[in-house]
Chains A and B, each alone.
Chain A
Amino acid sequence: MRNVILLTIDALRKDALGCYGAAPSRTPFIDSLAARAIRFDRCQSVGPYTQASFPGILTGSYYFESGLRQRQLSPQRTIVSEPLKQNGIATAGFHSNPYMCGFFGWDRGWDMFYDSMEEEVSDMVPYMLGNTINTKALEWLGAHVDRSPETPFFLWAHYMDVHEPYVPGQSYVDCVDPTLKMGQDEMFALFKSVILPRDATDPGRNGLLRKLYDAHVLEVDNYVRGFFARLDQLGLRDNTVVIITSDHGDEFGEHGGLSHDGKMISELINVPLLVVDPEIPGATVCDTVVSGIDIPQTILHLFGMDRDARFRGESLLPLDRYAVPGCYGEAIGKLTHKMKDTDQPVFFYQEEDLRIVHRVEGNSWQLYDLGTDPGQQTNTIADAPVAEEMKEKLEAKISEAGGV
């Protein structure tokens, strides 16, 4: 039986990867993987920030059913690790995002779960770097292969490095812009005085933040390279499928904001998704609209397990059997880092290039045709012939997902 690895990269925009068009590319290694992977060109996250998105990726559920406005994962939700472990698959998760720590209930179903919460972190780097995630994950993997080489495994590793406060090391900054010489305390000051207050008014400064972000993209590409090097050493490349995706992107002023919050915009909900399957040697491009909610069923499928009704979504594989017409997502429409009790939900539904967004606050509706308006700037809800039909579809999705 094959193994499955899920590598997720926090806050990684789809268009930050060379294989999705970034030029110059900051992801030479991931690009090289894409050259022999299935590349999903229209993968959406089911929410624009970790709390709204990861319920899709790991529990096949939407945000509000995972525990609305609560950080605690609802005990009613099943984490994909649980049925895998019950089926005798070794399971291990390694990450450093506090929203998914054991205390909030994300440690169910793992033989090994590392959330880094016991480690000391600094203000400037408030999480463990990718090299620590690699060390922990690969030590476990090495020991697993040594101890029970016949037992298939599911390993999830999540990298935080791209996530603000953007304070990259100088060597990565040099690769992005060798003329940029900022002290780390200056970078950190931008986080406090610009990113947190969402001050996107200065395009030059937004561009600077993007450079710091890109330096981190380069950094995380390096960690992914290191991870794969070890997989090669352990001889696991030929019998392991690796899924690479992100939970959401980041904004640099395109819609008047910074970082990520409750906006259903391409910068935040367009995510990369690569499936590196050694049995499919060449590059395949899939332009069907899919979303993170399909990942748990895909993982079960890769382990030869049947569809599990506890997870929404459908297996993405085999590609020709995936027949879901569109994807849906929901979040609280907060427009800062912090969520207030008065913040109202926001929803989206997307079919091909059409994306409809509904904000409960002010009962606003927006419809975008991403084919002609990739920047998602022109709301066509008032005059597009499909507006009414899309509205009905989104309303049906909202009520099917359980409403608010």
Chain B
Amino acid sequence: MLDESRIQELNGKIVKSKEIFLQAYDRFSVEDMRLIWSGGKDSTLVAWICLRFCEENNVAVPKAFTIDEGDAFEEIDTFLHKYAAEWNIELDWGRNEDVLKAANYTLNADVNVSDLNERNQSEIKRIGLDLEKFPFEAESFVGNHLMKTVVFNTYLEESGTKAVFQGLRWDEQPTRTKDDYVDDVPAGELTPAHTRFKPILHFTERDIWDTTRYFKIPYCPLYEQGYRSLGAKTTSNIAEAGVPAWEQDLENTVERAGRRQDKEAAMERLRKLGYM
């Protein structure tokens, strides 16, 4: 149970998030905005805050966009379909069909670069790779680029999207600590100019769960099994089996990959090297 001051604190954080939505609505029309909704806890909270903001301000809800990188959890697909319908959010799905086809829709299958379309081939060159083939994995360097970044850029271009809402958080990764709430991304060689709004940057992982649980916001059932962070199916790991994410030691362990950064791990390594 949360005490009154904690509930107030969370409400304060939601108010801050709504200010970011207000900035977005001041600058863009709703047709040009998209919620980026992966079905994970963070982007689901963004969608939920957005719904409340729209209701309070009597404005339309933007469409949402989700990326299927070809290695998704069925539970996430089900979750997204269910709540998109229940919340009446129009959800677009994006996938790199060209790569999926070249990989025969099979994980780890070799993809011949010459089988890909011009866009994908030039994208591979753009990130500095000179490959003849690569194994299809959603979260490898090349896979991540083709299956997420390229899909995202292509969607922005084709749908004319000018602004997106993302569920990034400062405490997620050390590299995120410099992020701003509003990020105007200039046009790149293959990236259309767009603005990224990050309404929940100030939420910690603990804040996410306290808010989600207190306001009874839906979440994907995988979190109950002990997942802390949901990415591609084959590269996401259960952090603590059978312990729901919100009951884990969120403050002293790292969210991604179920990291076990502790004394025990260091000592075990030293032992293996013969130093203990």
Contacts and interface: CB of A to CB of B under 8 A. Distances in A.
B141 A103 contact: no
A138 B269 CA distance: 24
Contact of B175 (A71, A111, A123): A111
B89 interface: no
Given A139-B141, A142-B127, A118 B270 contact: no
A342 to B, nearest CB: 17
B174 interface: yes
Given A98-B273, A233-B128, 12 more contacts: A99-B270, A101-B269, A103-B265, A115-B261, A118-B259, A139-B141, A145-B128, A165-B274, A191-B274, A337-B275, A338-B275, A338-B276
B109 interface: no
B272 A121 contact: yes
B229 to A, nearest CB: 13
A117 B127 CA distance: 29
Contacts of B267: 98
A101 B141 contact: no
Interface string A223-253: 0000000100111000000000000000000
A135 B144 CA distance: 14
Given A111-B175, A112-B175, A98 B270 contact: yes
A99 B174 CA distance: 21
12 contacts: A103-B262, A103-B266, A104-B266, A110-B174, A111-B174, A117-B259, A121-B269, A142-B141, A145-B128, A165-B274, A233-B129, A234-B128
B244 interface: no
A127 B270 CA distance: 10
B186 to A, nearest CB: 12
A165 to B, nearest CB: 8
Contact of B261 (A99, A103, A127): A103
A117 B274 contact: no
A126 B128 contact: no
B175 A102 contact: no
Given A117-B269, A233-B128, A102 B274 contact: no
Interface in A246-294: none
B86 to A, nearest CB: 36
A368 interface: no
Nearest to A235: B128
B1 to A, nearest CB: 32
B132 interface: no
> What band does the interface of chain B fall in when counting residues whose beta carbon is under 8 Å from A?
20 to 34
B260 interface: yes
A118 B257 contact: yes
A138 B266 CA distance: 25
A163 B257 CA distance: 27
Contacts of A191: 274
B258 interface: yes
Contacts of B263: 103
Contacts of A123: 272
A368 to B, nearest CB: 28
A180 B175 CA distance: 47
A121 B272 CA distance: 9
Which of A111, A112, A113, A117 is packed against the most chain B CB atoms within 10 Å? Answer: A117
Contacts of A139: 141
B266 A98 contact: yes
Nearest to A112: B175
Nearest to A141: B128
A110 B175 CA distance: 9
Interface string A130-170: 00000100110010011000000000000000011100000
Interface string B246-267: 0000000010011111110111
B26 interface: no
Contacts, number: 74
A220 B62 CA distance: 52
Interface of A: 71, 98-99, 101-104, 110-113, 115, 117-118, 121, 123, 126-127, 135, 138-139, 142, 145-146, 163-165, 191, 195-196, 230, 233-235, 337-338
B270 A230 contact: no
A117 B260 contact: yes
Interface in B119-171: 127-130, 141
B260 A118 contact: yes
Interface in B4-54: none
Contact of B266 (A117, A230, A234): A117
Nearest to A122: B272
Closest 3 CB pairs of A and B: A126-B272, A98-B269, A233-B128
A121 B271 CA distance: 12
A145 B259 CA distance: 26
Contact of B128 (A98, A117, A230, A338): A230
B274 A196 contact: yes
A1 B259 CA distance: 35
Contact of A163 (B258, B260, B273): B273
Contacts of A163: 273
A164 B272 CA distance: 10
A37 B130 CA distance: 27
B269 A126 contact: yes
A187 to B, nearest CB: 14
Contacts of A101: 261, 265-266, 269
Contact of B265 (A118, A142, A235, A337): A118
Nearest to A144: B175
B255 to A, nearest CB: 12
Contact of B258 (A112, A118, A121, A165): A118
Nearest to A336: B274
Contacts of B275: 337-338
A213 B265 CA distance: 26
Nearest to B127: A142
